Chains A and B, each alone.
Chain A
Amino acid sequence: QKEVEQDPGPLSVPEGAIVSLNCTYSNSAFQYFMWYRQYSRKGPELLMYTYSSGNKEDGRFTAQVDKSSKYISLFIRDSQPSDSATYLCSLSGGYNKLIFGAGTRLAVHP
């Protein structure tokens, strides 16, 4: 069983839609939860970072962590074509060694 499960998609939505991306994990030792965004032929860039259960909001993005269910989510409101990318959930027991999900490919069409 993989440590982190993430549906690879692809996910195609119209501009303005609310997007929900999810990951489940098996190791309760994970303490840090991150979402990275990766554009084609680029490296991952950190989008959201959270430590505890609950919600964290940053503009159109909301990260949600439920440690009891081992479930993390990223919501994108009012999605834009520029949001088209691969979204990677990433977990860590410490700062340094990240465990990545497979990544979900998102396409937002005008």
Chain B
Amino acid sequence: EAGVTQFPSHSVIEKGQTVTLRCDPISGHDNLYWYRRVMGKEIKFLLHFVKESKQDESGMPNNRFLAERTGGTYSTLKVQPAELEDSGVYFCASSPPWGSGELFFGEGSRLTVL
């Protein structure tokens, strides 16, 4: 069974540009999460989808970040316009609907803003 997949694995953009990160969760996992780790900091929660609905978006840093999960399948995280401080690794995770407590993480999308 395929794990959580994320694309791209690495993106280098200039300040002010737009980047869209994609996450494909494990099939059947209703819960989808975005986390990120900026340089020298802890991995921090961004938001949580249950199917296509945003359950908790308290970790989204500002309105330059937009997350969507169309049809309750894959999710995208768009950063527009990107700033230098957005550089880091963005992790997507998913978990099954019965809430086992285990989150399955993807390998992350590394974002570098120049």
Q: Which positions in A face B, CB cutoff 8 Å?
A: 2, 4, 32, 34, 36, 41-46, 49, 88, 95-103
Contact = CB atoms under 8 A, between A and B. Distances in A.
B30 to A, nearest CB: 11
Interface string B16-49: 0000000000000001010100000111110010
B48 A43 contact: no
B88 interface: no
A49 to B, nearest CB: 6
B1 interface: no
22 contacts: A4-B42, A32-B101, A42-B108, A43-B91, A43-B93, A43-B105, A43-B106, A43-B108, A44-B43, A44-B91, A44-B105, A45-B105, A95-B95, A96-B31, A96-B55, A96-B95, A97-B48, A97-B59, A99-B45, A100-B43, A101-B42, A102-B42
Given A41-B107, A43-B108, A46-B102, A96 B43 contact: no
B108 to A, nearest CB: 6
Interface of B: 4, 31, 33, 35, 41-45, 48, 55-56, 58-59, 91, 93, 95, 99-103, 105-108
Contacts of B93: 43
Given A43-B91, A96-B31, A102-B42, 18 more contacts: A36-B105, A41-B107, A42-B107, A42-B108, A44-B43, A45-B105, A46-B102, A46-B103, A49-B101, A88-B43, A96-B33, A96-B95, A97-B48, A98-B35, A100-B43, A100-B44, A102-B41, A103-B42
B10 to A, nearest CB: 10
Contacts of B33: 96
A102 B105 CA distance: 17
A98 B103 contact: yes
Contacts of A32: 101
